[in-house]
Amino acid sequence: MKRSSGVALATAAAGLAAGVIAEKVALRKRRVGDTESGEGFGTKRGERTRRLTRPDGARIFIEESGPRSKRGVVFLHGSALRTDMWHYQMDAFEGRRLLFYDLRGHGLSQPKGEGDYTIERLAQDLLAVIEDARLEEVVIVGHSVGGMVAQQLCLDHPELQGAVIKGLALLNTTYGPAIETVLGGATVARLERFVRRPFDLLGSQSVRLDKLRAVIKPSDAMFWGVAFAAFGPQASARQIDFVYDMTAETASGVLFDLIRSYRVFDAAGRLDEITVPCLVVSGSEDRLTLSDASVYLADHLPKAELQLLEGVGHMSMMERHVEVNEMLDRFFADALGRRNRKSSKGRK
């Protein structure tokens, strides 16, 4: 009996070792053939930067490029990311005023403020950014939670639709509680409701969690976890590394705040109230916001165009940046008209 148990244990150990080796070989091959390995993610900055202080003490970091026009585009990043995720968009639309900002508590938008962390409050921040920039005509590009915030602003301020807000580009986002439109949504939602109280209690220990996260070193398993959750099967290893870095640098307290905010967001029954043109983009391999959510958005928004990218995950603006930028460029032209002929070229 002891000998057979030893043989089984040795066999299991050998299998585990073989799996680890295979994983490392696969990752090495992926890195060697990575066409994006030389990209300087996190190094691009806007021509102009500033911070906007909100009434509850939050400070919003804003960077922008292009002419100081009263027409422009505002980009909102997704959960646990920051303006750097728009690496391929920051200098892609010459002649247009482009604004990027970190959601409160993300990136350089510190502190996050004392107010409740809700989609409604994030929508108030978005409006404040638009007003601070003195934009009279704007297209809002929202990725993931950023798309939810864009929808919320339109619902909270219908008077802005058509007058100020000329269109929405909704990338890899949803119309309701985000937990219900991830892979395995119904099951995950039931589990989340079951563990909600202990989960919120864990969130109260976010400072301790951040100390623990600081000593945990990145591993191959973490790489493959991010690759599976956020990217398609052919995504760049360099892009995956960078997204992991951004999420790892986001405070645990903000992550818990975001998850709580998802619970109550629900625009499903009001999508017909969003009357501006909408470009809806999704990936067939998106596991964080299933493409079904984008199909639903396109079916229920009065003026929507759906673009479904095959083989792409949650980070479509990175994975398929050339195609996405072409879509955005056309959408901006339709919603805002021609670009300004002259644009500032300098970088700060």
pLDDT score of 222:
81
The confidence band for 11, taking pLDDT boundaries of 50, 70 and 90, is very low
pLDDT reading at 101 higher than 80: yes
CA atoms of 55 and 57, how far apart (whole Å) = 6
pLDDT reading at 10 higher than 60: no
CA 163: distance to chain centroid? 27
- Identify whether 20 is part of a domain: no
- Identify whether 38 is part of a domain: no
- For 298, the enclosing helix (H) or strand (E) is helix 291-300
Average pLDDT over residues 270-287: 97
What is the Cα Rg of the chain in Å? 21
DSSP state of 285: T
Q: Single out the residue of 68, 228, 194 nearest to residue 132, CA to CA.
A: 68
Query: Total structural domains in the chain?
Result: 1
CA 210: distance to chain centroid? 21
pLDDT score of 210:
63
DSSP state of 341: S
| Residue 63 domain boundaries | 48-336
pLDDT score of 26:
54
- Identify whether 155 is part of a domain: yes
- Identify whether 237 is part of a domain: yes
Distance set, CA 68 to CA 94, 96, 136 (Å) = 13, 9, 12
Instruction: Name the amino acid, one letter, at 132.
Output: D
- Identify whether 5 is part of a domain: no
pLDDT score of 184:
62
Least-confidence region, from 2-6, 125-129, 226-230, 313-317: 2-6
Whether the upstream peptide bond of residue 111 has omega within 30° of 0, thus cis, is yes
CA atoms of 53 and 73, how far apart (whole Å) = 21
pLDDT score of 21:
43
Distance set, CA 158 to CA 18, 145, 154, 177, 271 (Å) = 58, 20, 5, 22, 12
- Identify whether 40 is part of a domain: no
The full length of the chain comes to 348
Q: For the whole model, what pTM was predicted?
A: 0.85
- Higher model confidence: residue 37 or residue 85? 85
Average pLDDT over residues 185-201: 57
Q: Single out the residue of 287, 22, 259 nearest to residue 117, CA to CA.
A: 259
For all residues of the chain together, what is the average pLDDT? 86
The confidence band for 346, taking pLDDT boundaries of 50, 70 and 90, is very low
The confidence band for 269, taking pLDDT boundaries of 50, 70 and 90, is very high
- Identify whether 149 is part of a domain: yes
User: Tokens at residue 194, please?
Assistant: 């079951």
CATH code at position 96:
3.40.50.1820
Q: Do the Cβ atoms of 232 and 250 come closer than 8 Å?
A: no
Average pLDDT over residues 241-256: 91
Average pLDDT over residues 54-65: 98
Average pLDDT over residues 198-211: 59
Share of the chain above pLDDT 70, in %: 78
pLDDT score of 217:
57
Q: Do the Cβ atoms of 155 and 269 come closer than 8 Å?
A: no
pLDDT reading at 197 higher than 90: no
Backbone angles phi, psi at 182, to 5 degrees: -85, 175
DSSP state of 218: P
Average pLDDT over residues 10-16: 43
pLDDT score of 188:
53
pLDDT score of 15:
43
Instruction: Name the amino acid, one letter, at 148.
Output: M
pLDDT reading at 19 higher than 50: no
